[in-house]
Structure 1
Amino acid sequence: MTPARSTTTPSTEPLLNKILDTLGMEIISGTIAAGRTFTLSDLSTRFGISRTVAREVMRALEQLGLVVPSRRIGIKVLPSSHWNVFDQAVIDWRWRTDTDRQLRELSELRYSVEPIAAALAATKASEDEGASLVHIAKEMIELAEAGASEEFLALDIKFHTLILNASRNEMFGALAPSILHALEGRTRYGHRDSIPLEDSVRAHLTLAEAIVARDGARAERASREVMADIAP
């Protein structure tokens, strides 16, 4: 969750984060509708906190694009078009309030970005990165056969993060935490087990080998095979 700044102390941070989580969920779920306004005094009264802590909550919400302060009207709740949808806190709140939509949008983002990143990685990944991808892919096959879901998920995230970074596109790399939240979120919120179908698992090795072979077209195809279950 986005940390508060400046006056936050170790003693107030847990309270601040709890209040931020409550308000973030209420705004993103629509319980507090876009256009509604409130004041620092309202926050102080509702949560029994000082204006200093209330101000920190307001600043954190502002950083996430959920509210905008105004001297004339107080703190105004913003519509979803203003939200920082790549922030991990916002992603988590969206998972918890509208799981199906968050899954669909993250999956569409992955399907749009990862195949291109894989093709780029085939031309730009180092030998060590290629070797790591092959090693990880083989481990994933073994873990899938053993039914080791948690260990498989950890390697799955590592595998895809490495591909995004190996593309040498810094914007792809910066998107990695948000894009790959789809892998963890689908498991956490009950849409599937963390281990996909066998063909998808083995396609990871095909993808890794294509990157090692510097075959961009094959890498792009294999990436789409890996994500066949989330194809739009």
Structure 2
Amino acid sequence: MSGKYESGRILTLDAVSAEHGVSRSVAREAVRVLESMGMVASRRRVGITVQPAESWNVFDPVVIRWRLEVGDRKAQLVSLSELRVGFEPAAAALAARRASPHQCRVMAAAVSDMMVHGRSGDLAAYLLADRLFHQTLLEASGNEMFRALNGVVAELLTGRTHHGMMPEKPNITAIALHDEVARAIRMGEHEQAERGMRAIIEESASAIVEEVPPTTTSPKTTTSLKTTTSPKTTTSPKSPAAEEH
């Protein structure tokens, strides 16, 4: 991704190990991880071939994170927002039909936390509440395919915050829309839940288009062999059992 290794370049495990000052076993594990992301292809008697961007697993949360760090950030965020339009409104509509009382309480509590942290400007705490809201909504849809896309949404929300694309205090309109969706799901109003989620995404996308400056690094069909340990699955923070009102 950084442009150090051009698409089509062939490397050897020994060369990778020597260049990065790591053991062959560490280099082999790094190649294995990158291969699982579609970023390199490894074959006996051929070597390690750097793959073009078209081959990357763009749904992998780590790939999303790296692209936000070194690629055309604005284009990546717009692309992710367009993807969200395709599934989150439908997930919200399903959640209005299938959400459990506990899931409804978790979403309501997440919105309350967003309000509190939004007023105080605690973006880190706001992000946790925002991620919990969307994770719970996707789980409440009862569709395992939608649930599997939680990593995509989480990386979008996280990247927007970590790269300074959020205002000092989150938009009160965005918080109100989350509250509207939570209420619609609790009341079983699937059409309202779908409309509200679409409005959330459109509000977020418009802020990206207006506020994100272009990055200096242009997207390239290149990759880097630098990798990190894949993130472990963590348990979402438990939300207080907020009373419905």
Q: Normalised by the shorter chain, which TM-score bucket?
A: 0.7 to 0.9
Separation in 2, partners of 1:34, 1:138: 47
User: Which position in structure 2 is the counterpart of 1:34?
Assistant: 7
Partner of 1:178: 152
How far 1:179 sits from its partner (Å)? 1.8
State whether structure 2 residue 117 is matched by structure 1 residue 143: yes
1:94 is aligned to 67
**Is 1:72 aligned to residue 35 of structure 2?**
no
Q: Is the 8 A contact 1:122 1:214 kept in 2?
A: yes
1:215 maps to: 189
Determine the structure 2 residue equivalent to 1:134: 108
CA contact (8 A) 1:183 1:194 kept: no
2:80–2:156 Cα contact (<8 Å) kept: yes
What residue in structure 2 maps to residue 202 of structure 1?
176
Is residue 44 of structure 1 aligned with residue 10 of structure 2? Answer: no
Mapped to 2, the partners of 1:126 and 1:196 lie a distance apart of 28
Q: For residue 98 of structure 2, what is the aligned residue in structure 1?
A: 124
Question: Matched residue of 2:22: which SS?
Answer: coil
Unpaired runs of at least 5, structure 1: 1-27
Distance 1:34 1:117, change over 3 A: same
In the TM superposition, what is the alpha-carbon distance from 1:199 to its structure 2 partner? 1.2
Q: How many residues align?
A: 205
In 1: Cα distance, 2:180 partner to 2:50 partner: 47
Shift of 1:111: 2.4
- In 1, distance between residues paired with 2:141 and 2:166? 28
Shift of 1:195: 4.7
Q: Please report how far the alpha carbon of residue 225 of structure 1 lies from its aligned counterpart in structure 2 after TM superposition.
A: 2.2
C-alpha offsets along residues 182-221 of structure 1, whole Å, 9 cap, x if unaligned? 1110111122237532111111111111001101000011
Identity %: 40
Three-state SS of the structure 2 residue aligned to 1:76 is strand
CA 161–194 in structure 1, closer or farther in 2 if over 3 Å, else same = farther
1:131-182 Cα shifts (integer Å, max 9, x gaps):
2222322332232223232221110110111001100110111110122211
Residue 169 of structure 1 pairs with residue 147 of structure 2: no
Q: Is the 8 A contact 1:129 1:166 kept in 2?
A: yes
Q: Taking structure 1 as reference, are residues 50 and 228 closer, same or farther at Cα in structure 2, changes over 3 Å only?
A: closer
Q: Aligned partner of 1:60: which letter?
A: V
User: RMSD over aligned Cα, in angstroms?
Assistant: 1.8
1:58 counterpart (20, 28, 31): 31
- The Cα shift of 1:61 comes to 1.8
Distance in 2 (alpha carbons) for counterparts of 1:95 and 1:43: 25
- Please give the alpha-carbon distance, in whole angstroms, between the structure 1 residues aligned to 2:25 and 2:123: 44
Shift of 1:48: 3.2
Deviates more, 1:169-178 or 1:38-47: 38-47
Q: Distance in 1 between matches of 2:44 and 2:110?
A: 54
1:120 Cα deviation (Å)? 0.5
Please say if residues 150 and 194 of structure 1, whose CA atoms lie closer than 8 Å, have aligned partners that are also in contact: no
Q: Check 1:222–1:34 CA distance in 2 against 1; reply closer, same or farther (3 A cut).
A: same
- Unpaired stretches in structure 2, ≥5 consecutive residues: 207-245
The higher relative CO (CA closer than 8 Å, separation ≥ 6) is in: 2
The structure with the greater share of residues assigned to helix is 1
TM-score, normalized by length of structure 2? 0.77
